[in-house]
Structure 1
Amino acid sequence: MFSIVLMVLATASPEASPKCSYDLRSTLLLDERAFDQDMNGGWRPLAANECYFEAAELIQKWRESHGAKDSTLYWHEGQMRASAGQYSQAVSLFEASRHPADQDRKWGWNLYVDGSIAFLKGDINALRSARDKLSVLPAPPELEDLKDINGNPSRVAWPMNLHVLDAFMRCWGQPYEVAYSCPK
């Protein structure tokens, strides 16, 4: 007996190149960790191929099909939209990724969000303000005894994401995709 396996190759736009295609069915079956954090699976290969629009569309499809409300997925979709030049959509997604203020006070995620939105809106003063506030945030005590997955001592650069806001400052006026990793 033969079974036929259908693989649904999809792209977010008809004019997309073959490097921007993906197997929609199998990708939608991935759990959140595999979809979002596996550098060789989920949406990340599309981003690695600079298929930012397709990656954003795939993240949106995955979020909607799973009813996912995780702020990380909103953030990553926003990053892909920003890299594709869709700044207004990215701003909305970045806003949706905010953490409750009482939970974020010591981590500074929302300051990173503020700075990223300021960059997309072309507001250098708001970017500088968010960057300066983040730069003086003291490290939370939880980082003192941080361990990696194998139980070894681990270090996290603090403040987290300050390097991205610094890159935005260095490459002010450049597209998000360029400024995000602007060299020193």
Structure 2
Amino acid sequence: MIRTALLICVCASLAACAKPSTNSCEARADAMLDLSFGAFDQGPDGWRSLDGSLACPDSAPGVLAEYRHRHRDALSRPNISLLTWHEAQVRAAQGDDQRTAVRLMREAAFAGEPDWQRLYREGSIAFMEGDRSRLMAARDELAGLPRDPMLKGLNGSEVEWPPNLDVLDGLISCFGKPYSVAYVCRPAP
């Protein structure tokens, strides 16, 4: 009898460890919704911790959308654009409906966005739509842009110029492969 009770306890413990609780993912996501924009987007406890999590891999797109919705009155248009872009990237990388990812990529556009950002977006959309010539044209135009002296990194450091050229080069190198593969298919520095 003791042996049976012990076996039941061990099995129950193993079953609890086998799959993370949906509630724990929801609790993490709910806690993120109260973070500042900077902490939510770039911090170690923000949405990226869900995207890279083996426990909660499907939670990132939903929490990005919910954060945008809850904070829409306080967020600037560029910040809304950035969160929309990240949701599109996560959905594309997860292999979700590609039309949804492309729609979100297009929604990320805003009046007055920097040319480098627009070209990166256009090149990414061209990749998603299987249009290599549009991807190449966006890449070449991005490569020819003059440096933006106002663009700085998070800590005020210089930013690699032009931003995301390596990403478009990777999309070209791995054209036809899934976004999740092509996004990290970048030339060695």
Amino acid at match of 1:81: R
What is the alpha-carbon distance in structure 1 between the residues aligned to residue 174 and residue 132 of structure 2?
11
Identity %: 40
Equivalent residue, structure 2, for 1:166:
169
Render the CA deviation track for 1:34-88: whole Å, top value 9, x for unaligned: 11111x2121111112655321111111111222552111011111111111211
- Pair 1:128 & 2:133 matched: no
Query: Does residue 180 in structure 1 map to residue 183 in structure 2?
Result: yes
1:141 aligns with 2:149: yes
Map of 2:107 onto structure 1: 96
**In the alignment, is the contact (CA less than 8 A) between 1:52 and 1:81 conserved in 2?**
no
- Going from structure 1 to structure 2, the CA distance change for 1:175 and 1:148 (only over 3 Å counts) comes to closer
Q: Residue 46 of structure 1 aligns to which amino acid in structure 2?
A: L
Aligned residue in 1 for 2:58: 53
Q: Residue 27 of structure 1 contacts residue 42 of structure 1 at CA under 8 Å; is this kept in 2?
A: yes
> Aligned letter for 1:47?
D
**CA RMSD across the alignment:** 2.3
In structure 2, the partner of 1:30 is: 35
Counterpart residue identity of residue 122, structure 1: G
Partner residue in 2 for 1:6:
none
Q: How many residues align?
A: 159
Q: 1:157 aligns with which of 136, 150, 160?
A: 160
Looking at structure 1, the residues matched to 154 and 31 of structure 2 have their Cα atoms a distance apart, in angstroms, of 30
Indicate conservation of the 8 Å contact 2:166/2:186, yes or no: no
Distance 1:160 1:183, change over 3 A: closer
Report the counterpart of residue 82 of structure 2 in structure 1. Answer: 72
Shift of 1:25: 2.8
1:18 matched residue in structure 2: 20
Q: Is the 8 A contact 1:19 1:49 kept in 2?
A: no
Which protein is richer in helix relative to its size?
A: 2
Using the size of structure 2 for normalisation, the TM-score is 0.75
TM-score of the two chains, using structure 1 as the length reference:
0.77
1:35 to 1:19, Cα distance in 2 relative to 1, 3 A:
farther
Q: Which aligned segments of 4 or more residues in structure 1 are displaced greater than 6 angstroms?
A: none
Letter in structure 2 aligned against 1:158: W
